[in-house]
Chain A
Amino acid sequence: MSASLPPPSSETIVVEELRVLDRRRLRRLLLLAFALAAVLVLLAPLTATDQADSLGVPQLVDRSQIRILTTVAMFVVMASAWNLVGGLTGYSSFGNVAFFGLGAYTCAVAVDAHRLHLPMAVAIALAPLVPAAFAALVGLPLLRLRGHYFAIATLGTAVAVGEVVKNIDYLGGATGLFPPILHRADLLFLYLMVGAALLAVLVSRLILRSRFGYGLIAIRENEEAAGVIGVNTTAYKVGAFAVAAALTGLAGGVFALWNSFINQELGFSLDFNIQMILMAVLGGAGTLFGPVLGAVALELLIQNLAGRSDVAVYAQIGLGLLLAVTVIFLPRGIVAFFGGGSRLSLTHLRRSLRETSV
């Protein structure tokens, strides 16, 4: 099917090598630029503290923007976590929000004065554990399913867990739980969430470069072959699932404390569910920074459009179209453009379309 090309001349090889070097340098520069921007953005909220005031430093970000940043960080955690299961391992879970909710409720129950009444730090430490245990438990049977079955089974699990939680009075029932309000704690929660985001990226990086990560990718590419060459597919899959659950649960726990209110609708929000998947895919599933990019881009977009009733319905239509376009034309996500993976050229688009169409 492929015509054989003439062997490359020496000049072509040199030019190609130079191009590769340039691309790598470009990629490094871009990474540096993003890192710098991120550091500035993350330090800026410190200008809102009293100490900054007394030093005469002008306030660069207000409370509303700090809130937005916290939300963005939350989605970075969730998208990166989803990426571990959906992007690396190839098991697209449509139910990760279950872990968010479990983490949130764990934290809320832990700090509640009428329930466990534990200190906040302990509650946050518990937040990843319960979802991880749950993931290990249900992961064993669920991860035996593939493709559509796995997707819908995880969706069903998330909905079912939400419904069960709603029916249990100890967990607040239909009313929900109200973790006590912490005053003047905006920055605390921002940096907690950012910390979780950094943790998520760090964990992803560690996994990507480890044997565990290669095993997951092998499972994604060809699970039978992976098993044959000695990868313990069950252990690896469940492991990835549990790690993703822990990270997502951590985000949920911090959210519950920050929001001072959690109920089934918030904790098991189908909106959050689809958003974390979208962000990972839009950004670039299977890559390290793809989910980060996707989370930042999409969440900022959502926040910018929020509040305007004339736009609301059209924003949703736009989201649907964005999905369609991403899936058809941009299957590798935005991050593929940074780093020479693919180029925005007509031939390239045509080729990728031909690969996926009937």
Chain B
Amino acid sequence: MQLFVQQVVLGLLIGGVYVAVAIGFSLVWGILNIVNLAHGALVIVGAYLTWLLFARARVDPFIALPIVAVVLFAFGYALQRALINRVIRAPLFFTLLLTFGVNLVIVNALLVIFKSDFRSVTPSYSGSGFGVAGVQVPYIRLAALGVAGLVAAAVGWLLNRTRTGAAIQAVGADRDAARLVGIDLRHVYALTFAVAAACAGVAGGLISTIQAITPTAGEPYTLQAFVVVVLGGLGRVGATVVGGLVFGLVETLGQTMVPGLGAGWANAIAFAILVLVLIVRPQGLMGRIA
């Protein structure tokens, strides 16, 4: 029983990280209708920035997060405005290829700068946590969950309680109508992508404290973001939160608690779930029909 609770706790904690990763991805997909294959790369850029600040300037990773968010925001804005905006109206498939190309460029640029050495951010309090009835809760992971929640809340607040958010949602709902009422599409698109990139950067910062990073470590996160968004449903922030937590739980419990099924099947299970959900309930657990 204690093992089960431990696994549930672990699943929720890692689910928080998945939520942080997926929020930006969901935003870009929902509003811009772009599946950003470079999302994982943006996450890793955030991770490297956090590491740089930690290793060179001794900035605590959690304090570095706002800085990372700002830098990624600017980068995302520029990327969308200069490049991705040019293919928005092209067949969907071209945006996939373009973001894939961007991914290649970013990852390999990171390889040139940082080489493929593994880096990790290990502040003095890593490894410590508290225990409740034998169930361990590491501090860093708990903090990551907290930050993820904050990010989700912030994005939700932005979308629902600000004028900018209203503009973003309008553009997502009907691009041409939004333009007719005077919304600057190029700017709003770039803004949306910028917010998503900032979220990705923050997620990367969290990840750098939990695992070792290398330029290619972002690839799995793009796919995981996709699974989370599909699971939860495209559209509302709440859906992504649910998707992330559920995915974290399923992954952890599925890996370790199902007899006969080892962790070796983890990826196969993840994708089987993905394909099944897409076929059976494409709107996800909570979303509306995308």
Using a CB–CB cutoff of 8 Å, the interface residues on chain A facing chain B are: 86, 90, 92, 94, 141-142, 144-145, 147-149, 151-153, 155-157, 159-160, 163-164, 166-167, 274, 277-278, 281, 313-314, 316-317, 319-324, 326-328, 331, 353, 355-358
User: Contact: A160 with B104, CB < 8 Å?
Assistant: no
Q: A148-B29, A151-B35 are in contact. Are A358 and B101 (CB under 8 A)?
A: no
Q: Is B264 interfacial (CB-CB < 8 Å)?
A: yes
Q: Which chain A residues border B185 with CB–CB below 8 Å?
A: 358
User: Contact: A92 with B96, CB < 8 Å?
Assistant: yes
Name B165-201 residues within 8 Å CB distance of A: 175, 185-186, 189
User: Contact: B111 with A313, CB < 8 Å?
Assistant: yes
List 29 A-B residue pairs with CB atoms under 8 Å apart, sorted by A's residue number. Answer: A92-B92, A92-B93, A141-B275, A142-B275, A151-B92, A153-B275, A153-B279, A155-B223, A160-B275, A163-B268, A163-B271, A167-B268, A316-B104, A317-B108, A317-B112, A319-B101, A320-B101, A323-B100, A323-B101, A324-B101, A327-B90, A327-B94, A355-B89, A355-B90, A357-B85, A357-B87, A358-B85, A358-B88, A358-B89
Q: Which chain A residues border B103 with CB–CB below 8 Å?
A: 320
Interface centre among B111, B264, B271, B279 (most CB of A within 10 A): B271
Q: Is B143 interfacial (CB-CB < 8 Å)?
A: no
Q: Interface SS of chain A: helix, strand, loop or mixed?
A: helix
Pick the residue among B86, B101, B278 that contacts A322 (CB under 8 A): B101
Interface centre among B102, B109, B268 (most CB of A within 10 A): B268
Q: Which chain B residues border A328 with CB–CB below 8 Å?
A: 83, 86-87, 98
Instruction: List 4 A-B pairs, minimum CB-CB distance, nearest first.
Output: A323-B101, A320-B104, A356-B90, A160-B271
Please, how many angstroms separate the alpha-carbon atoms of A155 and B222 in the complex?
12
Q: A147-B92, A356-B94 are in contact. List 13 more A-B contacts (CB 8 A).
A: A144-B279, A152-B230, A156-B275, A159-B267, A163-B267, A164-B268, A317-B108, A317-B109, A320-B101, A324-B98, A356-B88, A358-B88, A358-B185
Q: A167-B265, A320-B103 are in contact. Are A277 and B97 (CB under 8 A)?
A: yes
Interface centre among B89, B92, B104, B264 (most CB of A within 10 A): B104
Please, how many angstroms separate the alpha-carbon atoms of A322 and B275 in the complex?
31
Please, how many angstroms separate the alpha-carbon atoms of A273 and B48 in the complex?
28
Q: Which chain B residues border A159 with CB–CB below 8 Å?
A: 223, 267, 271
- Return the chain B residue nearest A355 by Cβ: B89
Smallest beta-carbon distance B113→chain A, Å = 10
Please, how many angstroms separate the alpha-carbon atoms of A157 and B186 in the complex?
35
